[in-house]
Chains A and B, each alone.
Chain A
Amino acid sequence: MNSTLLVEQAIWKTYVCIKETIMLENRNRKARPLLAIALAASMLAATACAGPSATNAGTAGKLAEGDWNAVVEAAKQEGSLTYYTNAAPEQNEPVIKAFNAQYPEITVNMVRGAAELDAKLDAEIAGNTDGADLVLITHRQWFEANVPNFVPVKDTLPNLANWPADAWSIDQVSPTASISPNGIIAWNTKLFPNGFKNWNDLLAPEVKGKVGLRDTVNTDVASYLQFQEDTNGPQFLPALAKQEPRFYTSMVPMAQSMAAGEIGVAAMSTPPTLVELKKQGAPIDWIIPNETHSLPFTMAMLKKTKHPNAASVYMNFVYSPEGQKALNGQQYGVSPLPGIPDTIDMTGKKSTLLDPKTMTPERTKEWAQKFREIFGR
């Protein structure tokens, strides 16, 4: 049955009661139509101010002929681009800001999502609808499955000509833009003043009921779980389950929850969110243990793009030293380019990188099942 029915009954009851008691019907008869018009006008005004949702009448999507300057000019004509990402908002905003400092004429629409992005992208690609021009996500499984839908960029974008050979997620098509460690222990300093040093500290008795984990096992999470099993032994995850963890659908709300004190420690997190929370004064701290797990953020341009020039200019920017500094600086991530200031220093740490060749869809499904068995979800 439908609860809209309930709401409808409630609203009618409220309407009738208010009408009978507060609005005595025979008064203010003349005022009523005016009031109605005023209300309607204000609603229309609100709609007009809000504006229509971002649908561009896509101009034909063709890359400009000629040299890079022609592409930049065509990009300015296109005027905007859209990219989908599951990177933390804090990490995306500096890049967009730095980009707009150089190219103020091009609007960048960033759409952030999590596990649901894959299905959305599939629907858009299948329907060839306008939407994403670029994607910057960690979902390697989806990437592997969609290689034919990406535009080869190695030869068209100047900054990729000398991109490190080992920093290509998919050759010719998708270079790694950032490496994001998610094997992080982040804690609330009010609840755990002594902090944590390594993974086994999570099994201490005082952590029970206060630790946070992700659920909705996709490839990223499955890879992390595999890393935990490989590094800390097959008993680690069941022991963690005995600590009665709380579950979150994404690392960002988990970090927020930890900062608010709802949980005391998060067993995985993402650097940009933590850096920002700390800047805002949240009582948190974190450590990247010596053995950690990382997700590569790779970017690709979709063949269906209606803004190939703007997308090319943006993608080229992301892989430039300025773009890398904006994306990975402030301790937000690790850059494949050497020598970018203020990025995360991983010297002395052993980081397992998500590898779609070993973490196949079948393995991910196995881990989803195993997760349910171990954690009872």
Chain B
Amino acid sequence: MSTSEATTVKAPEKNTKEVTSQRPSFGRTFGRRLLDRYPWVLLAALLVALVALPIIPLQTRAFADNFASFGAMIEMTDLGPILLRTLILGIGSLVIAMVLGTLLALSMHVMSARARRYLGFMPVLPMVIPSVAHVVGFVFLLSPENGYLNAMLRALPFIDGTQPGPINVYTEFGVVLYTGIHLTAFVYMFVYNGLRNLGQGYNLAAKVSGAGALRTLFTVTLPMLRPVLVYAGTVCFLLSLGQFTAPLLLGRREGVTVLMTRMFDLTLEYPLNFGLIAAMGTPLVVMAVALVVVQRRLIGNQDRFVGQVDMADSRSQSPVVRTLATAFVVAFTFFGAILPLLALLFVSLSPFWSSTLSLDNLSLTAFDTVFSNKKFVASIGTSLTVSALAVLLVIPLGLMIALGIYNRDRLWRPIPPLLDFIANIPLGVPAALMGFGYLFALAGPLHLSGTATSFVLAYLTLMIPYSVRYSLATLISLGKQTVDASRVSGAGPLRTLLQITLPLARGGIASSAAIMFVLLIHEFGVSLLLRSASVNVMSVVLFEQYDSGSYPQVAVMALTMTAITAAGLLAALAIGGRRALERL
């Protein structure tokens, strides 16, 4: 056996010798490989630089001077209580979000199909409103002294009308309530997806075996949803820990401080203690990087549902249950989204905010004042320009990274996983933490702090994960066939890209551009820390006005931001885009 193998082995050797004499020299192969690889290496280097900018310099500062900053952090006497409070708020929000979200998902599930078509987007509507505007709306509703809802509740017979309240939005409860409602949408989407994937088989089997609807729910449906509930709960908890906007706007008055707002307070002190801020942020950054892997799987689960067509008939047989379900969804949307918007509208038309709901004295004065305020008008321009620029720049970048990831078998082995990993890091880092990082990195030798360029840079980096995901989805949906056909017909990769891939992906890119634009208008955490006297964006100007100005004007600004969000969404709808993108 060995001899015959030896002979069989020998023969190829002879051929190899002949072949080697015809192969190009090592130098030329290396040269060609370099030529193929170096654009991708450059791309990866650019990506790493962009993502590392807000993270690495600040973190190295934490470790400077022999960990002096960590020492200072441990000496902070209020750190323990703050961490505890952050944890408690996180758990509270989690509970509210899980309960409401699951109830909403169940309601949606048992509704009639037609009701579901029209009400499908309602539970997520509270999140489409810009968060700063949304919180202010809640303040107008639930401020203990002047909130409209509180005033109405006080009129009820069994509530003490002489004391402020009964609901105080400025307390821990208020922050938990707001954050819970905010996160409900996410739990709803997750659980609803899970419910749909369960199918009707088990439910029908239970029914046939004689179980009533409620019994089926508790003994079959919910236990089977357990993995989904666990996933949703974990993500929700992590998101609520990184919450910034609600504690910042609601927590100052009565001292409800969480980790993020404490770090923000540090930026207001003089002189700025970057080391301490960095030290406080280190555990969050470590968690964020470690979570990127887990996140990808969670997002993967999440996306699949977005465009699913409803096949199974899951609606309840009882019209009472169906009506209740519809009512619940409508009620949630009303209290979560419509009512705050109405409150904003009412205050914007009033001379000053008080709890009385009289229709006299309504006027457009506040609108006049706001739109003649140069600072606010300039901030609208800045928001629009900076967001548009960032989106224009991130689309080609995202597309190139997506191409690298998509063609992973043709590229140099380390590049695609590196691109994939680094591109997703901005998803895991809390926005405010990125903001602190930029504040530190850009203030130094780069001298870029407080310029429009810094905003474009930051926004661009924030949007990289989204742009990559959208481009990747588009590429996947286009399939390899058209690309292969083009290559077979003789077009090179660039020509294929320009003449085949891009035109086919046009609609998807356009509507995802509109969505990214809306996301950047919403952006608050990073923008708050990048603001300067001369360059500011709408969400931050709104916050500054809330902190130091008249409430009707704050309401006008909030409504303007919401209107621009709606316009962006309309733009996305108008541009249309292929359904491909919806099957992300």
**A-side interface residues toward B, CB under 8 Å?**
1-21, 23, 25, 32-33, 35-36, 39-40, 42-43, 46-47, 49-55, 82, 84, 111-116, 118-120, 122-124, 126-127, 129-132, 139, 141-142, 215-216, 218, 246-250, 252-253, 256, 259-262, 280, 282, 372, 375-377
Contacts and interface: CB of A to CB of B under 8 A. Distances in A.
Given A7-B522, A9-B185, A53-B536, 10 more contacts: A3-B131, A6-B183, A10-B189, A11-B128, A11-B569, A47-B381, A246-B253, A250-B547, A259-B352, A372-B77
A127 B446 CA distance: 9
14 contacts: A2-B242, A3-B431, A7-B519, A9-B185, A11-B515, A15-B569, A21-B120, A50-B382, A51-B378, A82-B534, A115-B269, A247-B255, A261-B146, A261-B354
Nearest to A48: B381
Interface string B406-443: 00000000000000000000111111000000000001
B533 A111 contact: yes
Interface stretch (B37-45, B482-490, B574-582): B574-582
B567 A16 contact: no
Given A10-B128, A12-B515, A46 B384 contact: yes
A246 B254 contact: yes
Contacts of B515: 8, 11-12, 15
Contacts of B186: 6, 9-10
A18 B121 contact: yes
Contacts of A32: 574-576
B219 interface: no
A3 B239 contact: yes
Q: Which of A115, A116, A132, A252 has the most CB of B within 10 A?
A: A116
A50 B384 contact: yes
A67 to B, nearest CB: 33
Nearest to A142: B270
Contacts of B551: 256, 260
A12 B306 contact: yes
Contacts of B255: 215, 247, 375-377
B271 A122 contact: yes
A350 to B, nearest CB: 30
B307 interface: yes
Contacts of A51: 377-378, 381
Contacts of B384: 43, 46-47, 50
A124 B447 CA distance: 9
A15 B125 contact: no
A1 B525 CA distance: 13
B252 A247 contact: yes
A259 B429 CA distance: 40
B571 interface: yes
A131 B257 CA distance: 33
Given A132-B533, A372-B77, A253 B547 contact: yes
Contacts of A246: 253-254
A15 B451 CA distance: 33
Contacts of B185: 6, 9-10
Contacts of B257: 377
Contacts of B570: 35, 39
Contacts of B144: 262
A376 B128 CA distance: 37
Nearest to A216: B268
B535 interface: yes
A26 to B, nearest CB: 11
B253 A260 contact: no
A253 B569 CA distance: 34
A244 to B, nearest CB: 9
Contacts of A25: 576
Q: Which of A8, A46, A280 has the most CB of B within 10 A?
A: A8
Contact of B268 (A35, A42, A116, A262): A116
B533 A39 contact: no
B142 to A, nearest CB: 12
Nearest to B428: A1
Q: Which of B145, B183, B241, B522 has the most CB of A within 10 A?
A: B145
A32 B253 CA distance: 48
Given A2-B427, A52-B381, A9 B302 contact: yes
B533 A249 contact: no
Contact of A23 (B118, B306, B382, B573): B573
B429 A2 contact: yes
Given A3-B239, A18-B121, A118 B127 contact: no
Q: Which of A53, A139, A249, A377 has the most CB of B within 10 A?
A: A53
B59 interface: no
B523 interface: yes
